[in-house]
Amino acid sequence: MRTVFHENLDELNGQLAKMCGRAGVAMKSATHALLAADLSAAEQVITAHDQMVGMRSDAEQAAFALLALQQPVAGDLRAVFSAIQIIADTERMDALAVHVAKIARLRYPEHTVYGEVSDCFAEMGRLAVGLGESAQQVLLTGDPAEAAHLREQDTSMDDLYRRLFSLLMSPSWDHGIAAAVDTALLGRFYERFADHAVEIGRRVVFIATGALPPEDDISTY
């Protein structure tokens, strides 16, 4: 009975890691769509979200079945309990990539962002993809030290997010209102993507140790 449970749990963890990996790929494509004004890349990210919704539903059913049929306790229960939360995080990460892609599509054939702001998003994209990969990795290894490290990676994202707002609020901003609005929202989408990756890290620490690290403070924006 325990063996079946652990096989099923491994399978569920594999689903979570796959969802997280897909969200990372989606954010990579969405960032490319944004920076290169690539309509077909944007469309692809938007269309692919349906599959993510299906994966969410499958993973939730698998987690539910594990609880209903196997009634896990202790560390095993922590793993399934946390999986329910992680499923939501990964789908949300993918939805945030869709938001980025939708802004790129809205502005096509124009570019959405230029110059220094564009560089900022290139870097935020790299960080987001890196955080997605790290989150996927810790879902597979379950290593709490590695999971806790996700928060440190996120501080670079917070720095970039602040830099973006200092560019936006500077008197020298000369890209107009629509670009300012796009920039602010895009910044938030990247920052939230990173927050969800950090949240996955917190949950992996909880699975391994039984103690949930404290949440970060809420930023002003």
Residues in touch with a copy of itself (CB under 8 A): 46, 49, 53, 57, 60, 63-64, 67-68, 71, 73-74, 77-78, 81, 84-85, 88, 95, 98-99, 102-103, 105-106, 165, 168-169, 173, 177-178, 180-181, 184-185, 188, 212, 215, 218-221
Q: Closest separation between CB of residue 64 and a copy of itself, Å?
A: 6
The nearer residue to a copy of itself, 133 or 179, going by C-beta atoms, is 179
DSSP notation for 97-108: HHHHHHHHHHHT
In angstroms, the Cα distances linking 201 to 28, 73, 196 are 20, 21, 9
* Minimum CB distance to a copy of itself smaller for 43 or for 60: 60
Nearer to a copy of itself, 36 or 106 (CB): 106
> Shortest approach of a copy of itself to residue 181 CB, angstroms?
4
Write out the E strands in 52-151. none
Q: How does DSSP classify residue 171?
A: T
**Cβ(150)–Cβ(216) under 8 Å?**
no
DSSP reduced 3-state for 6: helix
Q: Give whichever of 14 and 75 is closer to a copy of itself, judged by the CB atom.
A: 75
- Least CB distance to a copy of itself at residue 96 (A): 9
Query: Are 93 and 55 contacting, i.e. CB atoms less than 8 angstroms apart?
Result: no
Question: Nearest 5 degrees, angle CA 177-CA 178-CA 181?
Answer: 85
Q: What's the min distance (Å) between Cβ of 183 and a copy of itself?
A: 8
